């Protein structure tokens, strides 16, 4: 609790956003001002730049409105993917500015810390249903440490992970797929000399965030599934005048429905905010046993956590040893060196 209090008071100094899902909000008694904004129109944030938010009214990519934050929202972080309520001029005509009066509770949050020692979590994307972890099979070689960290971010943030393995013309996906089989993460394999039907199917009608290291072919993918993506990114990143390249997330509409949220600035996932128990919670067969562990168990077993109860689950035959090994690999990635 102490940690939470400290964090709350320090939010103000952050430039990126904090990151909390606020599950309590839906059941909280309605505040007095809510009825006053009964006419607010729903919209999704598609880009953020320096105190201005670009929003798609009714999630319609053809109804883009620029908005400011109503004073009553204080400094609540508002990021791409947030569902908001807008009042005022929502025409979207040049030089008009709507007012954002509400941020809906989030269904998921993709968050990270800047590095592993940074105690402050930052929100990257809100409400994405899935995270496409874009990894090339060669050139550059897959970085499983990064991949594992992305999985942890999914499990603790409420997103469905999907492995997106690119450059299959250069190397076989099988070894990588084998090493993730126990985690049961769905995968899409792509190569630039074949069509992208499987990828389109995976993305259709969903809100998908994309992460990947430089050079893995993420831009190639985005341009394939979103015609004119380069142009669109240029446009939204021009929200704050004078800025030509966007490093924050940008939501781009898919022609068949759904959105992809590119995260150009995100090359790493510090996970200082994640506890071992949060990771274990994503593994139903181990979650209950973890309650039998000594306090502050890191669940790594061996010399690190000799009394960890997770080994008993495997010994009893209720889970496979390889599942526990995969879980522990994720736990190690949480504390391991940044990759
Ligand atoms: N062989 C092969 N090369 C590919 C494939 N997809 C992309 N590339 C190449 O990989 C390089 C990097 O692709 P980009 O799409 O720019 O990669 P990125 O991940 O967006 O990288 P940044 O722009 O640095 O963020 C380019 O030279 C692409 O032509 C593929 O399926 N096979
Ligand atoms: Zn344990």
Q: In this predicted model, what pLDDT tens digit does every residue of 23-48 receive, in sequence order?
A: 444 455 555 444 568 889 999 999 99
∠ CA 325-156-106 to the nearest 5 degrees?
A: 160
Ligand 1 centre distance from Cα of residue 198 (Å): 18
Question: What is the architecture, at CATH level 2, of domain 2-103?
Answer: Beta Barrel (2.40)
Q: Which ligand is nearest to the CA of 134?
A: 1
CB count in 10 Å sphere of residue 320 = 13
270/116 Cα distance (integer angstroms): 5
- Tell the residue nearest (CA) to atom 6 of ligand 1: 217
Report whether residue 215 contacts ligand 1, using a CB cutoff of 6 Å: yes
Atom of ligand 1 nearest to the CA of 191: 31
pTM: 0.83
> How confident is residue 235, by pLDDT bands cut at 50, 70 and 90?
low
- The single-letter DSSP state of residue 32 is T
> How confident is residue 7, by pLDDT bands cut at 50, 70 and 90?
very low
Report whether residue 212 contacts ligand 1, using a CB cutoff of 6 Å: yes
pLDDT reported for residue 282? 85
Six-digit token pair at 21?
């899902």
**Which of 215, 249, 250, 252 gets mutated to test ligand 1 (max ligand atoms within 8 A of its CB)?**
215
Report whether residue 179 contacts ligand 1, using a CB cutoff of 6 Å: no
Type and span of the H or E element at 98: strand 98-103
ipTM for this model? 0.96
Calculate the dihedral angle through the C-alpha atoms of 135, 137, 143, 147, rounding to the nearest 10 degrees: 40
115/136 Cα distance (integer angstroms): 23
Q: In this predicted model, what pLDDT tens digit does every residue of 307-333 receive, in sequence order?
A: 999 999 999 999 999 889 989 988 888
Report whether residue 255 contacts ligand 1, using a CB cutoff of 6 Å: no
Report whether residue 214 contacts ligand 1, using a CB cutoff of 6 Å: yes
Spell out the domain ranges in the chain. 2-103, 109-262, 276-335
Q: In this predicted model, what pLDDT tens digit does every residue of 121-170 receive, in sequence order?
A: 788 999 999 999 999 999 999 988 888 888 988 998 999 999 999 999 99
CB count in 10 Å sphere of residue 13 = 7
Cα dist from 118 to 156, 263, 305, whole Å: 18, 20, 25
Q: Is the pLDDT of residue 292 over 80?
A: yes
Ligand 1 centre distance from Cα of residue 217 (Å): 3
Superfamily of domain 109-262: P-loop containing nucleotide triphosphate hydrolases (3.40.50.300)
191: buried, middle or exposed (CB in 10 Å: 19+, 13-18, 0-12)? Answer: middle
Q: What is the CATH number of domain 276-335?
A: 1.10.40
pLDDT reported for residue 243? 43
∠ CA 233-153-292 to the nearest 5 degrees?
A: 170
Does this chain's domain 2-103 share its CATH topology with 109-262?
no
């Amino acid at each position: 609790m102490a940690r939470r209090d400290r964090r709350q008071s320090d939010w103000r100094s952050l430039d990126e956003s904090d990151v909390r899902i606020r599950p309590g909000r839906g059941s909280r008694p309605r505040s007095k001002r809510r009825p006053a904004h009964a006419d607010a129109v729903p919209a999704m944030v598609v880009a953020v730049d320096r105190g201005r938010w670009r929003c798609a009214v009714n999630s319609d990519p053809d109804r883009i409105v620029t908005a400011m934050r109503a004073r009553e929202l204080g400094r609540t972080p508002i990021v791409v993917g947030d569902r908001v309520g807008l009042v005022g001029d929502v025409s979207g005509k040049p030089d008009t500015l709507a007012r954002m009066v509400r941020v809906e509770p989030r269904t998921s949050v993709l968050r990270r810390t800047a590095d592993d020692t940074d105690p402050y979590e930052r929100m990257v994307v809100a409400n994405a249903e899935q995270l496409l972890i874009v990894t090339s099979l060669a050139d550059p070689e897959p970085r499983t440490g990064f991949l594992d960290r992305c999985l942890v971010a999914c499990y603790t943030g409420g997103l469905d992970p999907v492995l997106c393995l690119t450059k299959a013309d250069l190397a076989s996906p099988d070894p990588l797929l084998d090493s993730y089989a126990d985690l049961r993460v769905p995968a899409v394999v792509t190569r630039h000399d074949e069509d992208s039907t499987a990828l389109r199917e995976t993305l259709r009608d969903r809100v998908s965030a994309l992460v990947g290291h430089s050079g893995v072919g993420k831009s190639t993918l985005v341009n394939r599934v979103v015609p004119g993506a380069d142009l669109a990114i240029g446009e939204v990143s021009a929200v704050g005048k004078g800025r030509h390249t966007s490093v924050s997330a940008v939501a781009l509409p898919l022609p068949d429905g759904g959105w992809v949220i590119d995260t150009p600035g995100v090359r790493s996932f510090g996970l200082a905010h994640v506890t071992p128990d949060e990771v274990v919670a994503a593994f139903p067969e181990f979650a209950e046993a973890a309650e039998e562990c000594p306090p502050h168990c890191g669940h790594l077993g061996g010399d690190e956590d000799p009394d960890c109860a997770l080994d008993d689950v495997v010994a009893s035959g209720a889970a496979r040893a390889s599942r526990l090994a995969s879980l522990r690999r994720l736990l190690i990635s949480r504390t391991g060196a940044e990759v």
